[in-house]
Structure 1
Amino acid sequence: MQGPRFSTRAESRWFRAAGAQIVNMTQYPEAVLAAELGVGLVALSFVTDIDADIDAERDGAATGDGADAELVLRRMAQAAPRIRAAIAAIVAAIPDDYAGRRLLPAAAIDAVLAR
């Protein structure tokens, strides 16, 4: 979903009905735009909460508090050492001679940027 924002309960139910198990609000539209511009991208995801607390619903009524920014920020702070370690490992694994692949011809990208 396009973020940053939390899903509504209706959106959460729709995602669940569609078979989604993870809802991410931090890689769209950024991943698509990066690919179109030929910019390399590594996706590192961290699960912070139950989407709109849908697992806590019983008989159609929410029994939990749902996700909020305070909860997400607290869990991210707790996980910061693991997140930093993951980023360091990803960077260390990039070969010195790495060259990204172009998804669009350079001329097409140049034409868009020239506008």
Structure 2
Amino acid sequence: MTIGVIGGSGLYEALALENTRSEDVSTPYGEPSEAITIGELAGREVAFLPRHGEDHRHPPSDAPYRANLYALKSVGVDRVIATNAVGSLRENLPPRALVVPDQIFDRTKHRSPTFFGDGMVVHMGFAEPYCPAMVDHLATAAAAATGDETATERGGTYVCIEGPQFSTKAESEFYRSQGWDIVGMTAIPEAKLAREAELSYATVAGVTDYDVWKEDSEVSLEEVLANAAANEDAINAVVERAIRTMPDDFESEAWSALEGTINTPTEAIPEETRERVDLLAGDYL
């Protein structure tokens, strides 16, 4: 198995991978955010990719999500552990808390949410946007890494906004009124693309702020960066524990997610499109 990890440079440095190599991967969807670093941890192959690039040059709306997920798939990844920085929509979920969400509400507007199209229609089921098996594994790893089962919130809804601006007060209060738990900018389309690529995918999110619904809470980049840095050690420990304890008999329904979802007969799909998606859907065409 090869475990994909999507996170920041601090996570890469903490993982202390051995026997590393760097792979520049070109994809039909453009260049990934950075070269993929592949190495070993506890006898497991790990492929690391920084979502925003090594120097954080890709904003949430313009990160090369399709290229990133395609590149990870192309080097043999079949499961992905992601990390996110998020705002809290709950009083009892303070900054520096960790969350392993199990639902997403999509509020994005300008992002490419699919690998397909161009003469190929795919209707993918997405009722459980994060792989339940990976959610369970990450939550278990978090309890072990922190030594406290209550230190990490297991489950919850991540509302993904377009950004790069933070929420207005009206938006923040609306999200809170819906009973949603955290707000961020990078879950979508990453989770959708991971499912289309038949990758088991889940995330551990670190709370950096109370968004702007809370009285006297005005989100600033300074606050977000300070709390993200404070969360780094805990998130790194969770990811490392999840890699070290990944079961050999791990099974995910995501690995057959494309089955029965392609609505266009193979002979009607343009040859150029078939070639472009061969890595993803070739077994079904």
> Is the shorter-chain TM-score for this pair beyond 0.5, marking a shared fold?
yes
What is the aligned residue count?
105
CA distance in 2, matches of 1:106, 1:83: 36
Amino acid in the other structure paired with 1:14:
F
Residue range with higher mean Cα deviation, 1-10 or 31-40: 1-10
Instruction: Answer yes or no: is 1:16 the counterpart of 2:154.
Output: no
Instruction: Answer yes or no: is 1:81 the counterpart of 2:81.
Output: no
Asked whether the 8 Å contact 1:51–1:67 carries over to 2, the reply is: yes
Match of 1:103 among 241, 257, 267: 257
Between the two proteins, what is the percent identity of the paired residues? 30
1:29 matched residue in structure 2: 189
Residue range with higher mean Cα deviation, 2-11 or 84-93: 2-11
Cα shift readout 1:33-53 (whole Å, capped 9, x = no counterpart): 11112123121111110012x
What TM-score comes out, normalization by structure 2 length?
Answer: 0.33
Residue range with higher mean Cα deviation, 68-77 or 22-31: 22-31
Amino acid in the other structure paired with 2:167:
S
Asked whether the 8 Å contact 1:35–1:103 carries over to 2, the reply is: yes
Amino acid in the other structure paired with 2:231:
A
Alignment of 1:33-44 (within 5 A): 33-44=193-204
* RMSD of equivalent CA atoms: 2.6
- 3-state SS, counterpart of residue 235 of structure 2: helix
1:45 matched residue in structure 2: 205
Unaligned stretches of 5+ in structure 2? 1-159, 263-272, 279-285
CA distance in 1, matches of 2:162, 2:256: 26
Q: CA deviation at 1:31?
A: 0.6
Q: CA deviation at 1:84?
A: 0.9
Say if 1:93 and 1:79 are closer, same or farther in 2 by CA, change over 3 A.
same
1:60 matched residue in structure 2: none
Amino acid in the other structure paired with 2:214:
D
Please identify which structure carries the higher strand content: 2
Say if 1:107 and 1:8 are closer, same or farther in 2 by CA, change over 3 A.
closer
CA distance in 1, matches of 2:189, 2:172: 19
Say if 1:83 and 1:3 are closer, same or farther in 2 by CA, change over 3 A.
farther
Residue range with higher mean Cα deviation, 4-13 or 97-106: 97-106
Please identify which structure carries the higher helix content: 1
Q: CA deviation at 1:12?
A: 0.5
Unaligned stretches of 5+ in structure 1? 57-63
What TM-score comes out, normalization by structure 1 length?
Answer: 0.73
Say if 1:77 and 1:34 are closer, same or farther in 2 by CA, change over 3 A.
same
